[in-house]
Structure 1
Amino acid sequence: MSTPSGDQPATEPAPSGEPGGDGRAGYESVESLLLGPRTWTRSEVAHLAGVGTEHAARIWRALGFPAVADEDPAFTDADVEALRAGERLIHAGVITAESETMMARALAHHLSRLAEWQVHTLASQITAEGGDRAEESVLTLLPELELLQRHVWRRHLAAHAARTLPREDKPDGGGEDTRSSQAKGAGAFPVLRRAVGFTDMVGYTRMTRGLDGPELARMIDRFEELTTSVIAEGRGRVVKTIGDEVLFVADTADDAAGIALEIASRTEADPALPRLRTGLAHGAVLNRFGDVYGSTVNTAARLTALARPGTTLVDTELAAELAHLADYTLKALRPVSVRGYKRLRPVLLRPAVERRG
């Protein structure tokens, strides 16, 4: 969804300072190939899409783009079609007028990061070639990027559908068991029972002072490679990475515990990484545009901050879920007072003695 703006008149500056001069020719060439010619003002694009100008401006701001002057023909036919697509989703009952803005914001959050990485990856090649050869590169590479993005997106759609939608091969219809009240209707966000985990690098701030850019990039890449691999193998899902830590969820406490202990084991055997620590909690989680919210998430974060290097702390609810399983040993620790919790009761999670031996 790509649309227009209001508020403070301003025009979006063209990128400059890139290799190959001021970058203007390369930028205009790439933009034209991606979006088509700029034709419409913000009031015209709203009229053509059949929406109000303030509505269009709100979506444009949610996408993270700067305001555009009233008389500036800054928008394309693709912007009109994107606005119309949003309206069709509203009329179909898939989203509401209110959640359309939230959806635009979520799309922008994830896709802008992807776009930034892709442009940096391709920029040196495109600007070095210049002119017609630059356009040829864009025309050649863009379909390949789109193919990869579409395939990965569809793969994730299929994976989430398998967990969420009813299945014919199960007597009860299958699908997610929310075990919690859940809002109904278009644009509703489910509240599910999940295991939530944070894993972070111990001493990250101190370590980064002595690393140059390439060294820091290698360490972060190794951290993300190890954690995301273990989470995927353990049937979990990475929610996001936040600097030196990763937030993940799993359907069961058993899955989350297995992930945490495997991360600790592999890190201990990897000299390229600092020690990691993990906090896990189990309970109700609000799932909103791929992110998770609620006290369960907060508890997992507090437990991570309390954990010693190489260890995993869990809350009492997750410990209760694991108590009957022979794969783990659990040791209740003294209650502690942390921000937001007067008596947080951490439980130390370890693999069973036979596994450790």
Structure 2
Amino acid sequence: MTDEPAEDGELESSRAALVAGLDVPALVERAEQLLLGGPRLFTRAQVAERAGMDAERATALWRALGFAQVGDDEVVFTQRDVDTLEAVRAIEQSGVADDELIATMTRILGQTFSRLASGQGQLLVSMLAQHPEHLESEESVLAVLGTLLPLIEQVHEFVWRRQFVAFFNRVATYATSDALASTLVPMAVGFADMSGFTALTRRATEAELGTLLEAFEATTTDVVSAHHGRIVKTIGDEVLFVADTPSRAAEIALDLLERSRADERLPALRIGLASGPVVSRLGDVYGSTVNIASRLTSLSRPGWVLVDRVVAESLAGDGRYQLTARRPESVRGFHHLRQWRLRRASASEPPARRRGRPRGRR
């Protein structure tokens, strides 16, 4: 279904980025037709009727996608809206998904693509601003869009299919009848947090802050992917990642520390790891294991990795690591949370010292 205009702040930054002399509203209107495959032709009732769908149902899907309510007489829909509603009807008629599942799927698409479109739109405006030769006329801008958009769409589809394959490969690792019926999935969970970020934001320029966040996201994405992990989400100065084993999570955490030390753009990181059953829902993770990893991150010092009992016991016999037990602490939701500092083992360190098996409860 059609997209909504950019928010006021995004519009202002976009206009400021374009050189004077371009008729930005006219350019946006022409770009809209390029993106949507044609002009706006239908009202809300008309698009629902053409798709053979109840008007209230179509409106509910529109809202689930995160788009604003439109008036009954507003002509805002295109033929692609009709085609998309027909596709949703076909999914409904397949008998595989009920109304609740379709609403959930629609909501995920809306939230995901809203963030994706905002980020890519800002990057595209920046790219154009850096190449003024493409801003000489509306035609030159549209020529760039006409070249890039099909390529971006192709990459979107490829990445989505690859990520779908990766998801089913992960499912296959615990695909028993009991496991598939359960919402609990065993995994290792980690949080990586930039220490001193709040103070940095007070004295950093907008450009410096952008460079910092780009360096953090690029580093975490590279390291987590390299060790077969998955980034669940990035929340400002913190990233939440998961891995299928404690050892992979440990490698992610230690590599992140090493990469941050080597990158002068990044402050020291604080990392917490926990392992156990996790509620995995709609790409996100929940539960006690996630909460423990978060609490350990808050207890960690800059340049440290703290792990819970399950991770510590899993790594205790591995000569690559050194585990140092620390005093348990009471944190929100957990009384006497046990913790171990994780480091790479020193080649000169006696094996007995680095192989002590941690004991005790969380």
Q: In the TM superposition, what whole-angstrom CA distance separates every residue of 1:271-306 from its partner, at most 9, and x where no partner exists?
A: 322110111111122222222222211211111011
How far does residue 93 in structure 1 lie from its aligned partner after superposition? 4.4
**Of 290, 310, 326, which residue of structure 2 is paired with 1:333?**
326
| TM-score normalised per structure 1 | 0.85
Does the CA-based 8 Å contact 1:280-1:312 persist in structure 2? yes
Task: Report the counterpart of residue 107 of structure 1 in structure 2.
Answer: 109
Q: In the TM superposition, what whole-angstrom CA distance separates every residue of 1:197-235 from its partner, at most 9, and x where no partner exists?
A: 000110011012121122111122222222221111111
Q: Are 1:131 and 2:130 matched, yes or no? A: no
Q: How many residues are paired up?
A: 336
Q: Are 1:323 and 2:320 matched, yes or no? A: no
Q: In the TM superposition, what whole-angstrom CA distance separates every residue of 1:96-150 from its partner, at most 9, and x where no partner exists?
A: 3112222222222222222123222333739934333333332222112112222
Q: Are 1:141 and 2:148 matched, yes or no? A: yes
Q: 1:225 to 1:99 in 2, by over 3 A?
A: same
How far does residue 259 in structure 1 lie from its aligned partner after superposition? 1.0
| TM-score normalised per structure 2 | 0.83
Task: Report the counterpart of residue 53 of structure 2 in structure 1.
Answer: 51
**Of 182, 200, 205, which residue of structure 2 is paired with 1:207?**
200
In structure 1, stretches of 5+ residues that fail to align are: 5-10, 165-174
Q: What is the SS of the residue equivalent to 2:327? A: coil
Q: In the TM superposition, what whole-angstrom CA distance separates every residue of 1:219-277 from its partner, at most 9, and x where no partner exists?
A: 22222222221111111111111111111100101110111112112222333221101
Q: In the TM superposition, what whole-angstrom CA distance separates every residue of 1:288-337 from its partner, at most 9, and x where no partner exists?
A: 22222222112111110110111111111222222332222323322222
Q: 1:322 to 1:240 in 2, by over 3 A?
A: same
- Please give the alpha-carbon distance, in whole angstroms, between the structure 1 residues aligned to 2:175 and 2:300: 30
Q: Are 1:284 and 2:281 matched, yes or no? A: no
Question: Which structure's residues are more often helix, by fraction?
Answer: 2
- Please give the alpha-carbon distance, in whole angstroms, between the structure 2 residues aligned to 1:342 and 1:180: 35
Does the CA-based 8 Å contact 1:38-1:74 persist in structure 2? yes
Task: Report the counterpart of residue 28 of structure 2 in structure 1.
Answer: 27
CA root-mean-square deviation: 2.7
**Of 334, 338, 345, which residue of structure 2 is paired with 1:345?**
338
Percent identity for Structure 1 against Structure 2:
44
- Please give the alpha-carbon distance, in whole angstroms, between the structure 2 residues aligned to 1:283 and 1:13: 42
- Please give the alpha-carbon distance, in whole angstroms, between the structure 2 residues aligned to 1:55 and 1:3: 16
Does the CA-based 8 Å contact 2:22-2:137 persist in structure 1? no
Does the CA-based 8 Å contact 1:181-1:191 persist in structure 2? no
Task: Report the counterpart of residue 222 of structure 1 in structure 2.
Answer: 215
- Please give the alpha-carbon distance, in whole angstroms, between the structure 1 residues aligned to 2:116 and 2:122: 10
Does the CA-based 8 Å contact 2:324-2:340 persist in structure 1? yes
Task: Report the counterpart of residue 120 of structure 1 in structure 2.
Answer: 122
In structure 2, stretches of 5+ residues that fail to align are: 351-362
Task: Report the counterpart of residue 291 of structure 2 in structure 1.
Answer: 298
Comparing 335-344 and 240-249, the one that deviates more: 335-344
**Of 67, 70, 94, which residue of structure 1 is paired with 2:69?**
67
Structure 2 residue identity aligned to 1:33? L
Does the CA-based 8 Å contact 1:40-1:73 persist in structure 2? yes
Structure 2 counterparts to residues 183-198 of structure 1, below 5 A? 184=181, 190-198=183-191
How far does residue 154 in structure 1 lie from its aligned partner after superposition? 2.6
Q: 1:225 to 1:356 in 2, by over 3 A?
A: farther
Does the CA-based 8 Å contact 1:327-1:355 persist in structure 2? no
- Please give the alpha-carbon distance, in whole angstroms, between the structure 1 residues aligned to 2:231 and 2:102: 24
Q: 1:284 to 1:180 in 2, by over 3 A?
A: farther
Q: Are 1:96 and 2:98 matched, yes or no? A: yes
Q: 1:228 to 1:50 in 2, by over 3 A?
A: same
- Please give the alpha-carbon distance, in whole angstroms, between the structure 1 residues aligned to 2:276 and 2:221: 22
